[in-house]
Amino acid sequence: MAKSNSPYSAAFTACSYLITEFNAILPLLQSSDSAVLLKQEAMDRKYTRINNEASAKKILAEFKRRYSTLPPTFWVWYQGLDDNAQRAALLYAIIKTYRLIFDFHIHVALKKWNSVNHTLVKEDLVMEMLDISSKDEFVDSWSEQTKGKLMSAYLTILRQADMLDKNNNELKPIRLMPSDYKYYVETGDVWFLDACLLTPMEKNEVLNSLA
């Protein structure tokens, strides 16, 4: 079925987190010759180190989509962050880019974090996927295999962002310096502090320090 007006995309299965690769490509995305440079990178794969051109094109397309979701000033700010803050910022960009990841994170992961059980596994995402499918014909048209890959890809992103323990599947908060949350607060995306799994007290301390 055609995508029509659905806000959902399954494209992120081609490209999970890949922060090292994204950071290597970021200067190309920022260049005025971006289109030419990305086309050359798909052929040479100097920075992405991908096995074949077809896979490289898919990954580069998703990198471009993530980059284009936010203004150029965000990425300039991003480049000045330390490793931990960059990991959080890239996760923010990914959540902003893909509606399905937003829904998984806010409707499932955040609820799990606020419950007694902090483990998050694929089975926890099934009901959310079913609920989305019941309301969106495009998502409903996806095969069970595709839906399974999407749920697995989301969990992989959390692990690579260091928000999900690789051994016991326990959710882990992202705790940064208050100044590292400044962009999200100033742009009105205070929800990202909740998405980082901060406690109400931690969130208030950040907001007070930036007031």
pLDDT, one tens digit per residue, over 175-191 is 999 999 999 999 999 99
pLDDT above 90 (res 1): no
Phi-psi region of 152 (alpha: psi -120 to 50; beta: other; left: phi over 0): alpha
CA dist 66 → 19, 63, 74, 81, 131 (Å) = 12, 5, 12, 18, 26
pLDDT, one tens digit per residue, over 68-77 is 999 999 999 9
Q: What is the pTM of this model?
A: 0.94
What percent of the chain clears pLDDT 70, i.e. is strictly above it?
98
pLDDT above 90 (res 101): yes
Mean pLDDT of 76-96: 96
Interatomic CA distance for residues 122 and 60, integer angstroms = 27
Mean pLDDT of 41-64: 91
Q: How confident is the model at residue 115 (pLDDT cuts 50, 70, 90)?
A: very high
Give 105's DSSP letter.
Answer: I
Mean pLDDT of 137-154: 95
